[in-house]
Amino acid sequence: MSDRESLTPRVFLVRHGETEWAKSGRFTGTTEIGLTATGAQQVSSAAATLIGPGRLIDPSRVVRVIVSPRRRAAKTCEILLKDFSSRPTRIWDDVTYTEDIAEWDYGDYEGCTDQEIRNLRKKKGLDLEKEWYIWRDGCEGGESSKQVTERLDRLISQIKDIQRPYMNGEASADVLIVAHGLINRCFVKRWLGFAVDFDLPMIFAPGAVAVLSYKNNDIDKPALHVGVALPLSSDEDSVRGAEQ
């Protein structure tokens, strides 16, 4: 990345590792379910590769960690940061658990697969003219897209308040979020200024990391890193310096 980009505050979105329900395609909102062994390994591998001094997520640059209060997200955060729990780094200074980044509340559809939900709705006489689209239609007994939008916008506003004074690198102001597949994709849409039901196909695998920031160091130009250049290692820095 350019020196200018490296100064701009970033938001790292992490999805929790695999669970049994995620593996079987079941909608998991409020249900407390743990990571599978594979899920824990997914997170450990991401941490070993991406988190650490001089790496993509440098703990010394993270000023806030925001986590869904669901057990699978909290465990993911614990695994991600375990190597820094006893070190004098700011990443542990302020960990916030908030329902604002909890998974979409699926209500009556909790634990169902996509097809089971569609069959249930059609038995009730719903969706006769068009197929169910959660981003638009929400969930019976759960959250609407309006409710999800309101809580995400509230959280985004708080993050911008944290980062606004440091848009040109006056101090580090990265934020790390650990949450869930659907709500993370909703967060991306709202960060970019799109409605939750805007058609923006995205894939967010268990244990994956996405990076958001701002274009031209401008708080009013939220952006998505569609490709992130990893920081140079110390050896690569030395080589580059010798070539200049």
Q: Give catalytic residue positions.
A: 16, 103
For residue 71, which phi and psi values (nearest 5 degrees)? Answer: -60, -40
Instruction: Tell me the three state secondary structure of residue 199.
Output: coil
Q: Which residues of 180-192 are buried (b: 16+ CB within 10 A; e: fewer)?
A: bbbbbbbbbbbbe
Contact at 8 Å (CB) between 64 and 177?
A: no
Helices (H), 95-144: 114-123, 134-137
Q: Is the alpha carbon torsion for 188, 189, 193, 199 positive or negative?
A: positive
User: Residue 228 in contact with residue 1, Cβ under 8 Å?
Assistant: yes
* Residues 152 and 45 sit within 8 Å (Cβ to Cβ): no
